[in-house]
Amino acid sequence: MTPLDRTRHPPALTPGYFSSVTRAPREGLIALDPGEAGMTGPVFGSQAIGPLDDDLIRNAALPGEQAIGPRILVHGRVLDESGRGVPGALLEIWQANAGGRYRHARDGYPAPLDPNFSGFGRVLTGEDGGYRFDTVMPGAYPFPNGPNAWRPAHIHFSVFGLAFAQRLVTQMYFEGDPMIARCPIVATLPTVQAVEALTARYDPARDRPMDARAYRFDIVLRGRLATPMEP
């Protein structure tokens, strides 16, 4: 397995994101070969996916109703570092509603809940690593981090690849959002290229006309080390 590229991921301690200060280990990490436990991983098949898990517009809606908000679809591929698609990867998805409110006991933001939206989704990649789900554009919301901090519109992703060492948790942002550059959590990313990699592109070729706009977000997991050439 290729190593976790620490020039690509945020460091543990990022004082501009206040929550990291008491939750960042200060001792150095002990470098370890991933070993057997890291090279294998839990495998979740299609039985982990409910019939409407890839449709956040309808999966928590009352009969005949739908979630409120700008209708979008998000699609892309899960790849390894050599560009090969990762089939059978499980994506867990969660997000705020169109007003920026989470259906969560600890979210006190006054934007109203949508009775037809839970913000939960799950999808499995196909043979080529491709995935797609339907949802509504999440709203921006404030969070306690100094006098005035806001999260850009974003969707949370948790990804299971083929190995435990490929486990990834991240967030997807939307092209053109002026809040991206102002967010203290986005600012934990080490480079502008890392921010770009988390920014989904509007993809009009995949729009569903008169229905939903499409955004493309590819996800690259750690890859297998190159195997030596056959003699």
Partner 1 sequence: MRQTPSQTAGPFLHIGMMPDTAPLALARPPGEAITLRGVILDADSAPVTDALIEVWHPESGWARGATDGQGGWRLAVTRPASAPFVSLWIIARGINTPLSTRLYFPDADWQDDPAMALIPPPRRRTLVALRGADGAYRLDIHLGGEAETVFFDI
**What are the DSSP calls for 163-230, one per residue?**
SGGG-EEEEEEETT-TTGGG-TTGGGSSSHHHHHHTEEEE-GGG-BTTTBEEEE--EEE--PPPPPPP
Q: Which class for 133: exposed (0-12), middle (13-18), buried (19 or more C-beta within 10 A)?
A: buried
Residue 225 found at the interface with partner 1 (CB under 8 A):
no
CA distance linking residue 161 with residue 49, whole number of Å: 16
Q: Which of 131, 141, 173, 215 is catalytic?
A: 141
**Contact call for residue 164 and partner 1 (CB under 8 A):** yes
| 24/27 Cα distance (integer angstroms) | 9
Binding partner 1 (rule: CB under 8 A), the pick from 68, 111, 120, 162 is 120
Considering only residues 125-144, where is the footprint of partner 1 by CB under 8 A? none
Is 109 a residue of the active site?
A: no
Number of chain residues interacting with partner 1 (CB under 8 A): 80
What is the smallest separation between the CB atom of 162 and partner 1, expressed in angstroms? 13
9 carries an active-site annotation: no
Candidate residues 16, 34, 88, 130; the one interacting with partner 1 per rule CB under 8 A: 34
- Name the catalytic one among 77, 101, 122, 151: 151
Out of 102, 131, 173, 215, pick the active-site residue.
102
Under 8 Å between Cβ of 72 and 212: yes
Residue numbers 41-70 binding partner 1 by CB under 8 A: 41-42, 44, 48, 50, 53
Q: Of 46, 62, 64, 106, which one interacts with partner 1 (CB under 8 A)?
A: 106
DSSP label at residue 55:
B
Question: Could you give the dihedral angle defined by the CA atoms of residues 158, 45, 64 and 136, in that order, rounded to the nearest 10 degrees?
Answer: 20
Q: CA angle at residue 18 from 24 to 7, to 5 degrees?
A: 55
* Residues forming beta bridges with residue 72, ordered by sequence position: 135, 213
Selected binder of partner 1 within 111, 162, 179, 198 (CB under 8 A)? 198
Answer yes or no: are the C-beta atoms of 124 and 134 closer than 8 Å: no
Binding mask of the shown chain, residues 203 to 222, with x at each position contacting partner 1 by CB under 8 A: ---------------xxxxx
State yes or no: residue 22 binds partner 1 (CB under 8 A): yes
The verdict on 158 binding partner 1 (CB under 8 A) reads yes
Beta carbon of residue 210, minimum distance to partner 1 (angstroms, whole number): 30
Active site members: 102, 141, 151, 154, 156
